[in-house]
Homo-oligomer: A and B are copies of this chain.
């Protein structure tokens, strides 16, 4: 069946996934473009619906286990897609529902009120690259399942558990599990003079303009500052998060001996 009407219920269902409300109501999110659909399928996410543009039926192979798959007109694909120049495939996948692990292990990242979707996506991608085990988000951090975050996370959204909740409570739970909570904070100690970070470290970065909230900072074991050696007042939050994650995982000035973590 070729879907040609933007009034078709399946098209309406996909369009609704552009908004957070729509995603929460249906429990699905939107996958746009070949790379994103392929990454989601490879990661084993349950894909509930796929639309492929007429003439590009070869793209069905990207999501072979999709529950439902149809061909659609170029106009329908364009109506569903948030991208300026949509590729030939859009899909819906079920929103993952990760649970807080009982005994978290390894490096984690927490975002406190990070508002820009591009920053949130880049931070999730960077956490994945640094070998982090998961990401925590405060309630009002940009929704990680919005189309722009899905795009900038470049597949990493499907590799890591992403938990959203009241952040102070989540930080407290990690500290009870033996974690060192370390926040990026312009008033903190010099990151490069700081002792190495233990294997169970939670790196916290905050809002683009204000940094982490005081209520979150108050729970942190350490506050660390990246040097501002020139005339810039601050770093972009995704860059700062990347330096902190890679520093905690691989460096910060003190080389770890073999077997240490």
A interface residues with partner B (beta carbon < 8 Å): 118, 122, 125-132, 152, 154-156, 159-160, 192, 226-236, 238-240, 242-243, 246-247, 249-255
In the complex the two chains form, is A125's CB within 8 Å of B251's CB? no
CB neighbours (8 Å) of A236 from chain B are: 122, 125-126, 152, 238, 242
Taking A125-B236, A192-B250 as known contacts, 14 extra A-B pairs with beta carbons closer than 8 A to each other, sorted by chain A number, are: A127-B230, A130-B227, A131-B229, A154-B233, A154-B234, A155-B233, A156-B230, A159-B230, A160-B230, A236-B242, A238-B238, A238-B239, A239-B242, A251-B253
* Interchain nearest-CB distance for A213 vs B (Å): 22
In the complex the two chains form, is A156's CB within 8 Å of B231's CB? yes
The winner among A122, A129, A160, A226 for most chain B CB atoms within 10 A is A129
- A160 to B132 CA separation, bound complex (whole angstroms): 34
- A239 to B126 CA separation, bound complex (whole angstroms): 8
Q: Which 4 A-B pairs have the closest CB atoms?
A: A131-B229, A239-B242, A129-B232, A128-B232
**Copies per complex?**
2
Which among B234, B246, B252 is the interface contact of A226 at CB below 8 angstroms?
A: B246
A231 with B130, Cβ < 8 A, contacts A192-B250, A250-B192 known: no
CB neighbours (8 Å) of A126 from chain B are: 232, 235-236, 239
In the complex the two chains form, is B132's CB within 8 Å of A232's CB? no
- A67 to B156 CA separation, bound complex (whole angstroms): 50
Chain B residue with minimal CB distance to A107? B229
Which among B249, B253, B254 is the interface contact of A229 at CB below 8 angstroms?
A: B249
- A160 to B236 CA separation, bound complex (whole angstroms): 17
- A155 to B125 CA separation, bound complex (whole angstroms): 27
Which among B152, B154, B235 is the interface contact of A129 at CB below 8 angstroms?
A: B235
Q: 21 A-B pairs, CB-CB below 8 angstroms?
A: A122-B238, A126-B235, A126-B236, A128-B231, A129-B228, A129-B232, A129-B234, A130-B229, A130-B230, A131-B227, A131-B229, A154-B233, A155-B231, A159-B231, A192-B255, A227-B250, A229-B249, A238-B238, A242-B243, A250-B253, A253-B254
